Structure 1
Amino acid sequence: MKTLISLLLSLSCLSLFIGCKEKERVDLILHHATVYTVDSTFSLQQAFAVKNGKFLDIGSNESILDKYESEHMVDAKNHPVYPGLYDAHCHFFALARGLHQVNLVGASSMKEVIERVKNFQAKFPNDAWILGHGWDQNLWSDKSFPNNKELNAAFPKIPVYLSRIDGHAALANDAALQLAHIPLHGQPTGGLIVKAGNTPTGILIDNAMDLVQQKIPPPSELRLTEFLLEAERACFSVGLTSLADAGLSIEEIDLLKKLYKQNKLKIGEYAMAMLNTGTFKELVKAGVYDRGQLTVRSFKIVADGALGSRGACLLQPYSDASTEQGFLLLKPTTLDTIIRELAQSNFQVNVHAIGDSTNRFILHTFNKYLSENNKKRWRIEHAQIVQPNDYRLFTTANLIPSVQPSHATSDMHWAKDRLGNDRIQYAYAYKQLLQAAGSLALGSDFPVEDINPLYQFHAAVARTDKNGKPVGGFQIENALTREEALKGLTRWAAYACFQDEKKGSIEKGKQADFIQLEKDIMQIPLNEIRNTKVQQTWVAGKRVY
């Protein structure tokens, strides 16, 4: 009898011990959410636990709350939660500098450009130069390039340099041109100094811009650091947790290494080194840099210009300028040699290609040096105009198209003028690119376009501008589904930057980057997406917004 009682008591204590088993302590628990994991099955969950900056477990409210405990509990109150958004192609340094330049985006005339520059100078009268960005002559009644006559009249002594919206053309006044010693004869390779007779008009296209840019005094390291931190805060406020910075100098990369070592920057930075034919071998020899939130393992090559400034290299002349076809910024033999050499390295090659001639040349060159089953993850940046017969070249070399959906909805008002009725049909063809490549990295190209990634999501699925135009969508057959658009801003973007095992989805072991939105962009009407606000942004399990 005593033995039976002892056995019953032991079983009772064992049952009590099992029922009262201590929960595992974690750093953070988020619960009662609609969690879009963007895992391989695109599963939906309700909660997750975070420990040491990584997702430890994901599941239902009950499974997470029964198993874990934390001092930091986040009740999402049934709001949607997504992986941190990843901009696969942007210009972080340009955004930082642009925060302290004249914003000319949306200016409706040259007169308005002058007014904005005057207002800026009134606020900063001691600046040695006046810099601005964002003008677009396609928004004006006269869509031809401006000259600098009005700029000279308003600013006869201080140098003024205003870059176009695409960053591939600029307007400079005579004071700036004189400092740069702009030649009266000849043209730079891969660039154009627009002239009236032998007199420069102030318009500089592509490589010609370098003549003035190299004369502009750079901000101090302290000032530039302040700009970058301000730009980082802006990114966090719209849900961006990682960026692919498309084209940095060695000096800019060195500054990033310093700032990340000092833990001043927190955003994920995938830095593409801007190709410099004189120094790229040094970077290749130094090898891949991958520490914490900073990665340097790719080169950005700009092969041609932009469609808006007619610098994109086309197979046939522009429909609205029969004597112009654009141009390559580097000689074909130079591009071929560099691509061949980089194919022997561990570095990724990401080439800016807008025109159908440029895309064809780069696609064939990539295929020349890459095997079908390669794991190089080389990218075509923009892939804006691709001839139908060339889509197969993405498949055969395992290439990644890296596109910016709002380029389609920004350019659609005038792109047909440049390309005509036939060529416009295979421009901005994101669905066709996805079908050919199997994945599609989405970015914004900011500050060319707005920093908000939800604008890219909306443009990708709706193919309309902020006003919902055109009704039915621009070439709607190339719209992405919402699931594809979200993958493009998370999982596929991370894959395009060799970070798919670390970021891009809410999965066990991955870095705990996530955002909470006020509305579910996977369900709400299309016209509500652009106005949806970010409620929280987290990087590596730490709240940054």
Structure 2
Amino acid sequence: MKKVIPLLFLLSLLISCAPEKIPADLLVKNATIYTVNENFDTEHAFVVKDGKILEIGIKPELELKYNIAETYDAKGQTIVPGLIDAHAHLYGLGVNLQDVDLTETTSYDEVLARVITFQKEKNKDYIIGRGWDQNDWDVKEFPTKKELDSLFPETPVALTRIDGHAMIVNSKALELAGITPKTKMDGGLIGVENGNLTGLLVDTPMEMVKKTFPKQNKAYNTQALLDAERICLENGLTTVNDAGLDREIIELIDALQQKDSMALRMYAMASNTPENLDYYLNNGKIKTNRLSVRSIKVYADGALGSRGAAMRKPYSDMPGHFGAMITPADSLQALADKIAGAGFQMNTHAIGDSANIAVLRAYQSALKGKNDARWKVEHAQIISKQDFDMFSNNIIPSVQPTHATSDMYWAEDRIGPKRIKGAYAYKTLLDNAGIIVLGTDFPVEKVNPMYTFYAAVARKDLTHHPEKGFQKKDALSREEALKGMTIWAAYSNFEEGEKGSIEEGKFADFTVLSRDIMKVSEDSIPNTKVVATFINGKKEFSLEEE
């Protein structure tokens, strides 16, 4: 008995001397975790406190060290840093969900059928829709207003092409906008045949119609944003770069985030309007934990699908047609100088080779003496061979890989076999810039970032066509693609210190996947499901709870 007492005393002494466990909110365990840190390390567990990664390590050691409130067992599944869509239109997606969905229509007749069904259900005073693409139809010509005039003689109708750069409208919409056969507008096209309007508008004239759209109230805009956010969370996105918003919507996003009604983080590019420029450039950048406003979104030209992209030489399938600059080269330069002077980032839509060189020249001139501007060329779609070396860490290509696999069926017809070699050239862009960031441009393309990843590495569509990949020399490696959707995207937003990788001190934003996209067979990547989406260590979406 005398020996037992000292042993009990010693044991109690050891227990009393054991360090007190540190409080923590969440333990994530049993996962293959791609940290996307500098060494691209793989880990298996980490601890979260107050919305940030507290420590990464081995589960037993973490359990001994921390008093954990909640545990998430990943059950061997894959975790990547919270996915970032570096170029999308969240508000645009939300608005589309309130209007006629014309995506994946296979004919103009199907477009009309959807509009008829929508109007029977909604009985709108103004019918608005988006998503048609004549390149997906047997008859690949732009439609006219003839059928819309017959079906809706007194109700204005405006149906926007999937890329947002062309619109078919009826006579009532043209009348409200004040557009006649004599109307002229730079930076676009008003369709006229035999002295009569066809109903086709490309790029800048579309704004005249949009100004006649019914003014949406706060409740409508809120619902649009939250509907779009839900889809993003279901697809594993934790940050979205919205490529062009007005102050009203940016401030609504901020209000929703501040009230914890919106979890999604936003990198909001203010649209290039006089009002936005005056407000933001004079009042300075905005930065919260969920919102960043420090950039201006500019349009240099239109889209390739509607032949609005500005080309150095005529289109191969439309002799004499060069597309059009929405913002002329001299205006681009003046704008670049103004934005640089205010310390803001300039992010410019550039599709055609003529638009891209105009943007690159304006950037280089405006950024002389500036070493960390991180200005972006959005799309950087068709580049002349001699212009690739103008990209750098200061001028970053922001691309959308599914554009390549959507356009590959007809793009060469548009621009010919020589120019196509400099199109969708992601690896070449990366080699020159040292960084490339990836997005979708949704709702132009699907929200699903697994499609982005697959298109980047396989250069195939969802039917796994073509067998050897489209211009496979410009495919990205899996590591490069994941970086483009995480740490490089965060870097391009000046946010690499707080997100983009799973590292101690960064936000606990992460995405749980059903498959290891770094190892599974290439063609099985698109079937990967998002199991859960976490922002600030809080589960914002779970497949199991759906």
TM-score by length of structure 2 reads 0.96
**3-state SS of 2:148 partner:** helix
Cα distance in 1 for partners of 2:233, 2:305 equals: 30
Cα distance in 2 for partners of 1:426, 1:335 equals: 23
* RMSD between superposed Cα atoms in Å: 1.8
- 1:234-383 alignment runs, 5 A limit: 234-277=231-274, 279-371=276-368, 374-383=371-380
- 1:428-507 alignment runs, 5 A limit: 428-507=424-503
**3-state SS of 1:458 partner:** helix
Which of 105, 130, 150 is matched with 2:147 structurally?
150
Q: CA deviation at 1:91?
A: 0.3
Cα distance in 2 for partners of 1:455, 1:108 equals: 21
Q: CA deviation at 1:71?
A: 2.3
- 1:13-412 alignment runs, 5 A limit: 15-17=14-16, 20-125=18-123, 127-277=124-274, 279-371=276-368, 374-395=371-392, 398-412=394-408
Tell me which residue corresponds to 1:510: 506
Tell me which residue corresponds to 1:416: 412
Q: CA deviation at 1:7?
A: 11
**3-state SS of 2:200 partner:** strand
Indicate whether 1:535 and 2:507 are aligned: no
Q: CA deviation at 1:141?
A: 1.9
Cα distance in 2 for partners of 1:10, 1:270 equals: 60
Give the letter aligned to residue 295 of structure 2.
Answer: S
Cα distance in 2 for partners of 1:158, 1:205 equals: 21
Residue 372 of structure 1 contacts residue 398 of structure 1 at CA under 8 Å; is this kept in 2? no
Give the letter aligned to residue 37 of structure 1.
Answer: T
Runs of 4+ more than 6 Å apart: 5-12
**3-state SS of 2:267 partner:** strand
**3-state SS of 2:391 partner:** helix
Give the letter aligned to residue 117 of structure 1.
Answer: V
**3-state SS of 1:544 partner:** strand
**3-state SS of 1:58 partner:** strand
Q: For residues 372-410 of structure 1, give each alpha carbon's deviation from its aligned partner in whole angstroms, at most 9, with x where no partner exists.
A: 761011000000001111111112x72110000000000
Cα distance in 1 for partners of 2:60, 2:433 equals: 40
Cα distance in 2 for partners of 1:311, 1:372 equals: 34
Residue 181 of structure 2 contacts residue 197 of structure 2 at CA under 8 Å; is this kept in 1? yes
**3-state SS of 1:537 partner:** strand
Tell me which residue corresponds to 2:520: 524
Q: Structure 1: any 5+ residue segments left out of the alignment? A: none
Cα distance in 2 for partners of 1:372, 1:417 equals: 41
Residue 454 of structure 2 contacts residue 526 of structure 2 at CA under 8 Å; is this kept in 1? yes
Q: CA deviation at 1:14?
A: 5.4
Q: CA deviation at 1:519?
A: 1.2
Q: CA deviation at 1:316?
A: 0.4
Q: CA deviation at 1:153?
A: 1.4
Q: For residues 108-166 of structure 1, give each alpha carbon's deviation from its aligned partner in whole angstroms, at most 9, with x where no partner exists.
A: 111111111111112112x1111111111111122121111112112222111100011
Task: Count residues with an aligned counterpart.
Answer: 539
Cα distance in 2 for partners of 1:307, 1:158 equals: 30
Give the letter aligned to residue 454 of structure 1.
Answer: M
Give the letter aligned to residue 335 of structure 1.
Answer: L
Give the letter aligned to residue 291 of structure 2.
Answer: L
Cα distance in 2 for partners of 1:345, 1:299 equals: 11
Q: CA deviation at 1:179?
A: 1.0
Residue 27 of structure 1 contacts residue 72 of structure 1 at CA under 8 Å; is this kept in 2? yes
Give the letter aligned to residue 113 of structure 2.
Answer: E
Cα distance in 1 for partners of 2:273, 2:337 equals: 15
Residue 29 of structure 1 contacts residue 69 of structure 1 at CA under 8 Å; is this kept in 2? no
Cα distance in 2 for partners of 1:95, 1:516 equals: 24
Cα distance in 2 for partners of 1:198, 1:323 equals: 21
Deviates more, 1:46-55 or 1:7-16: 7-16
**3-state SS of 1:296 partner:** strand
**3-state SS of 1:247 partner:** strand
Cα distance in 1 for partners of 2:19, 2:274 equals: 63
Indicate whether 1:425 and 2:405 are aligned: no
Give the letter aligned to residue 85 of structure 2.
Answer: D
The share of aligned pairs that are identical, in percent, is 45
